[in-house]
């Protein structure tokens, strides 16, 4: 128990929709009347689920509901989920920026937060003055801050502008200095939101390296929110997945990322079986196509460069099929309807002769080298690859989202889109 540095118990946060504040005067008086009689808040019992895509039917919404977790000293906890899942709200509660509606937070030591670009910075003060201001907020003496000053300025890369008011900094410069202050003033817990996306690739690499040093070398704790699943898997030791304000999974970083990527599958398998916009002679028909990761969990997203398994199930409508010459083709199209990648079963060393006795086939792609984006998949089932006799061809049989990945250790995260170098410029095809 002594190793637990942060404990969240039954954390919930309720907001009123459409208005700033707690609501009408009658609501405030009603709350006060219940409080004086020792009763619970009457509006804490109502409220809609935090689903940003649904139409509001209540005056109140639960941004978070009954969140419980513990963090040990030296852990890096990744908090992941879709936009509006409650990640930033949770970090604000942990950082004491706002209070929970119900529940409690127990911590040991100082918490440094980096929730937004330049959080806690005064725009009229210089970078140097803001370093001392943030140090004072964290409870450090002037002498302690002064001892770290040169290291902070050097790490931020803003030495030329350190005596210039922060209001004249670019967003990237502000996040550089803010992260340098938060990371070097030795907090026991460092809370980092998705602000690192503002910095350039060189700074992101430095920041991730610093967070690893803080957790592994110095034994300090980091809470990290990011939509970059590759960074979560490489940096974090554990993960929590939030969905509509509730915690739906907790486990290792890799397990949490896999669980998150498997959520929200929009494929309608019954609809694929009923589609009539097919080409081919119809002797066999594709009725199901699904994606799986290396842990055999069904997903609709995969990180660029990672393993992907594709399972397909067929319906047989004829006995006159030469299974020894059967082939399967998959063609990936980008959002501009450009063909960017294709796989053929014979080139992959996969025989479809097993379909003579089975109705399912599996293709494994060790590394799916596609840039970030959403890709539609055209499927082709036929006999013979030269002058093929097509049995079943479906355009947009399914789609998959590719998330940015880091394919080379010293390189950058790959960019969305397809790139071609033309004379004198870099164009997106």
Q: Taken in order 417, 421, 426, 428, is the CA torsion positive or negative?
A: negative
Distance of CA 42 to the CA centre of its chain: 35
Name 428's bridge partners.
419
The model scores a pTM over 0.85: no
Tens of pLDDT, residue by residue over 357-375, are 999 999 999 999 998 888 9
Q: Quote the percentage of the chain above a pLDDT of 70.
A: 83
Tens of pLDDT, residue by residue over 138-187, are 777 889 889 999 999 998 888 899 999 999 988 788 888 888 887 787 78
Annotated domain spans of the chain? 4-9+66-262, 269-403
DSSP state string for 255-313 = HHHHHHHHTT----HHHHHH----BS--SEEEEEEEEE-TT--EESEEETTS-EEEEEE
Distance, in Å, from the CA atom of 135 to the CA atom of 369, rounded to the nearest integer, reads 45
Write down the pLDDT at residue 51.
53
Contacts of 91 (CB under 8 A, 6+ apart): 79, 113, 115, 191, 193, 223, 225
User: Which of 330 and 3 is assigned the larger pLDDT?
Assistant: 330
DSSP annotation of 109 reads S
Tens of pLDDT, residue by residue over 333-360, are 887 667 889 999 989 999 999 999 999 9
Mean pLDDT of the chain: 82
Q: Is the pLDDT at 290 greater than 70, yes or no?
A: yes
Mean pLDDT of 73-91: 88
Distance, in Å, from the CA atom of 30 to the CA atom of 41, rounded to the nearest integer, reads 9
DSSP annotation of 385 reads S
Distance, in Å, from the CA atom of 392 to the CA atom of 411, rounded to the nearest integer, reads 41
Tens of pLDDT, residue by residue over 182-215, are 778 778 888 888 766 556 667 777 777 788 787 7
Please check whether residue 209 is in contact with residue 136, taking contact to mean a CB–CB distance below 8 angstroms.
no
DSSP state string for 29-78 = HHHHHHHHTTPPPTTTT--EE--TTSPP-SSEEEEEEEEEEEEETT-EEE
First to last CA, the chain: 56
**191 closest CA partner among 119, 137, 114, 138:** 114
**176 closest CA partner among 201, 148, 207, 147:** 207
Distance, in Å, from the CA atom of 333 to the CA atom of 346, rounded to the nearest integer, reads 21
Q: For domain 269-403, give the fold.
A: Coagulation Factor XIII; Chain A, domain 1 (2.70.50)
Q: For domain 4-9+66-262, give the fold.
A: Rossmann fold (3.40.50)
Write down the pLDDT at residue 267.
42
Write down the pLDDT at residue 206.
78
Q: Quote the percentage of the chain above a pLDDT of 90.
A: 30
């Amino acid at each position: 128990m002594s190793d637990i540095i942060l404990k969240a118990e039954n954390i919930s946060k309720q907001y009123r929709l459409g208005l700033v504040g707690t609501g009408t005067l009658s609501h405030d008086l009603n709350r006060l009347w219940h409080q004086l009689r020792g009763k619970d808040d009457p509006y804490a019992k109502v409220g809609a689920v935090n689903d940003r895509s649904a139409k509001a039917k209540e005056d109140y919404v639960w941004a978070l509901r009954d969140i419980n977790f513990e963090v040990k000293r030296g852990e890096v906890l990744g908090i992941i989920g879709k936009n509006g899942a409650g990640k930033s709200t949770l970090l604000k509660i942990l950082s004491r920026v706002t209070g929970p509606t119900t529940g409690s937070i127990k911590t040991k030591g100082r918490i440094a937060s980096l929730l937004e670009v330049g959080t806690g910075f005064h725009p009229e003060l210089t970078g140097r003055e803001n370093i001392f201001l943030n140090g004072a907020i964290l409870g450090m003496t002037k002498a302690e801050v002064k001892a770290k000053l040169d290291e902070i300025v050097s790490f931020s890369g803003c030495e030329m502008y350190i005596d210039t008011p922060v209001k004249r900094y670019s967003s990237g410069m502000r996040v550089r200095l803010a992260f340098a202050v938060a990371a070097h003033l030795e907090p026991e817990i460092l809370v980092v939101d998705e602000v690192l996306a503002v910095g350039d690739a060189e700074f992101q690499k430095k920041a991730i390296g610093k967070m690893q040093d803080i957790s592994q070398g110095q034994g300090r704790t980091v809470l990290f929110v990011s939509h970059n699943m590759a960074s979560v898997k490489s940096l974090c030791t554990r993960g929590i997945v939030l969905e509509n304000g509730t915690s739906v999974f907790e486990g290792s970083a890799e397990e949490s990322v896999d669980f998150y990527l498997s959520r929200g599958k929009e494929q309608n398998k019954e609809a694929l079986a009923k589609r009539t916009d097919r080409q081919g002679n119809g002797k066999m028909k594709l009725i199901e196509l699904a994606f799986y990761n290396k842990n055999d969990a069904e997903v609709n997203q995969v990180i660029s460069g990672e393993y992907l398994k594709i399972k397909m199930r067929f319906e047989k409508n004829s006995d006159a099929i030469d299974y020894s010459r059967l082939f399967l083709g998959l063609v990936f199209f980008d959002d501009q309807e450009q063909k960017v990648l294709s796989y053929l079963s014979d080139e992959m060393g996969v025989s479809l002769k097993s379909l003579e006795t089975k109705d399912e086939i599996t293709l494994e792609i060790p590394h799916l080298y596609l840039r970030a984006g959403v890709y539609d998949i055209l499927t082709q089932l036929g006999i013979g690859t030269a002058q093929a006799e097509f049995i079943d061809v479906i355009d947009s049989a399914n789609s998959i989202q590719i998330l940015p990945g880091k394919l080379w250790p010293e390189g950058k995260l790959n960019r969305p889109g397809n790139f071609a170098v033309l004379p004198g410029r870099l164009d997106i095809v």
